[in-house]
Structure 1
Amino acid sequence: MTTPTVARGLLGRVVKELESQILEGSWREQTRLPSERALAESHGVSRSTVREAIQRLVARGLLETRRGSGVFVVGAQPARPSAPWLQLIAESAPMRSDTLEFRLIFECASARFAAERASADELAAMAEILERMQLAVHARKVDEEAATDAAFHAALARASHNIMLDHFHASVITLLREHIISNTYDAAGDNAKARQRALARLAQHQRVFDAVRARKPQAAFEAMREHLDFVGQQFRCGG
């Protein structure tokens, strides 16, 4: 017979094991968990222990139950910036400059680690995003260009396989997306100069990806820094 102390120990172990699988990326966001029976067998515990462990992780915001569908990974909970913060990024030159410096710190690191660690599936995902970015640039669809730009940077953070970088990026994704969109719109326009800038940004993202795919960490770092330096130059020149 399992004593209460032993039961609590088993529960704690299962909670930690499931939590680790989520935080380490073994189960990506929106992944459906295996059945209670399968989890009980793989962890060597009862289904009731698995059920209680899942309930604890639901309470922590890492899992969610969907009636009739099962249990799914939520992952990192974005701490969405408030509307005043987003307005500051859109309208305040000092805030946007500070955000660019902030991006230089961790996005160059994300590119470096992605070059070392990106999986084949992650490389394929980045390639697909770049294809959509190229279509958007050539079609002069600024909304889609900005969306694919933000998606590419998010994909790099995931491909870094660094829990802190990935979760940190998720926590400030709204802020970063606003920064990217603001800069893209500032550089947009129906003229040859705006066209050249859009093509330059596309080429810069391609160079980052090429370095990541070639497994060249330093080249990926430098390519990202050159891209963000270009964004900063656009910003300082008023688009």
Structure 2
Amino acid sequence: MAHNRVEMVMRALETALLDGSLPVGARLPAERVLAERHGVSRNTVREAVQRLAARGLLRSRRGSGVFVTDQLRTGIASPWSQLVADHPALRSDILEFRHVLEGATAYFAAQRATDKERALIMAQLAQLEQARQDGDMAAEARHDARLHETIAQASHNTMFLHLHASVLGMLREHIAQSGTGLRLHDQAASQSLLAQHRTLCSAICDGQAELARDAMQDHIDFVRAHAVDDATP
């Protein structure tokens, strides 16, 4: 029975690692808090944490607590980041991947987003619009990337969230680079990107799943087409 309780706590913590509830660098709640949350003893929590630490997913810092490592993320993202840096042609593959993955996250976000998450999405859109109004292209690209992350969180699908968390650094960097490049290259493209994000956010917040998916995929196809154009002599 004690073994089953340890496994239960481990599964709960693993789910939080996968879905981003416990992001890289986050400090775990105190043993007492976790024990109360899961209805188990502190010894059970301690054993579950020790097992996850043995797998490299958590790390204990003397006097500071237990923290989430980057084991999950670096296992996927790290080599890809270097490959993308060394081989720009792979960016087309990233956009193809984003077309599929983010189209699905937008679809499910429209179906599952809570009122709080819809408010967060619209807040991110407002920041994106303000950066556009200020003419701050670097900030605009950063808010662009954060908006995509917020939409992924609102999808409430553990595997999608895991993929986003695993390759998040690479995708965020790519979104920022692509967005900044387009905005520097063409002011009309910058306005188009903002209009696409407005359509996307409206569809999600209105619960129109198919329209949200199509809006996200149209947005990424636009970026992909312009990226190809930019690469053409």
For the aligned pair, the TM-score class normalised by the smaller chain equals: 0.7 to 0.9
Q: Give the aligned partner of residue 136 of structure 1.
A: 131
- Which residue number in structure 2 is paired with residue 125 of structure 1? 120
Higher relative contact order (CA 8 A, sep 6+): 2
Q: Which range moves more in the overlay, 71-80 or 175-184?
A: 71-80
- For structure 1, the residue ranges without an aligned partner over 5 or more in a row are 1-5
1:40–1:237 CA distance, 2 compared to 1 (3 A): closer
Quick check: 1:209 aligned with 2:204?
no
State how far apart, in whole Å, the 2-side matches of 1:39 and 1:96 are.
Answer: 42
- Where structure 2 has 5 or more consecutive residues not aligned to the other structure, the ranges are none
Matched, 1:154 2:149: yes
Distance 1:13 1:56 in 2: 12
CA contact 1:114–1:157 (8 Å) conserved in 2: yes
Offset from partner CA, 1:46-102 (integer Å, 9 cap, x none): 32222121222333454454555644566883123345313246x33xx22222111
- Match for residue 87 of structure 1? 85
| Letter paired with 2:99 | L
Once the two structures are superposed, the pairs formed by residues 30-179 of structure 1 within 5 Å of their partners are 33-65=28-60, 70-71=65-66, 77-79=72-74, 80-82=77-79, 84-88=82-86, 91-92=88-89, 95-179=90-174
Per-residue deviation, residues 163-219 of structure 1 (Å, max 9, x unmatched): 1111101111222223223322332338xxx22211110110111110000001001
After superposition, the Cα gap between the structure-2 partners of 1:68 and 1:128, relative to the gap in structure 1 and judged at 3 Å, is farther
Matched residue SS, 2:188: helix
CA–CA distance in 2 between the matches of 1:37 and 1:84? 41
- Over aligned residues, Cα RMSD in angstroms? 2.8
Query: How much identity, in percent, do the aligned residues show?
Result: 41
Q: For the Cα contact (< 8 Å) 1:133–1:145, is it kept in 2?
A: yes
TM-score (normalizing by structure 1): 0.80
Q: Which moved more, 1:203-212 or 1:123-132?
A: 123-132
Q: Which of structures 1 and 2 has the bigger CA Rg?
A: 1
Instruction: Give the aligned partner of residue 10 of structure 2.
Output: 15
- Looking at structure 1, the residues matched to 58 and 91 of structure 2 have their Cα atoms a distance apart, in angstroms, of 34
Amino acid at match of 1:160: S
Choose which of 167, 184, 188 in structure 1 pairs with 2:183. 188
Distance change >3 Å, CA 233–CA 123, structure 1 → 2? same
TM-score normalised by L of structure 2? 0.82
1:93-131 Cα deviation digits (max 9, x unpaired) = xx2222211111111001000000112222222222111
- Say yes or no: does 1:232 pair with 2:213: no
Give the drift of 1:21: 5.2
Residues matched between the structures, number: 227
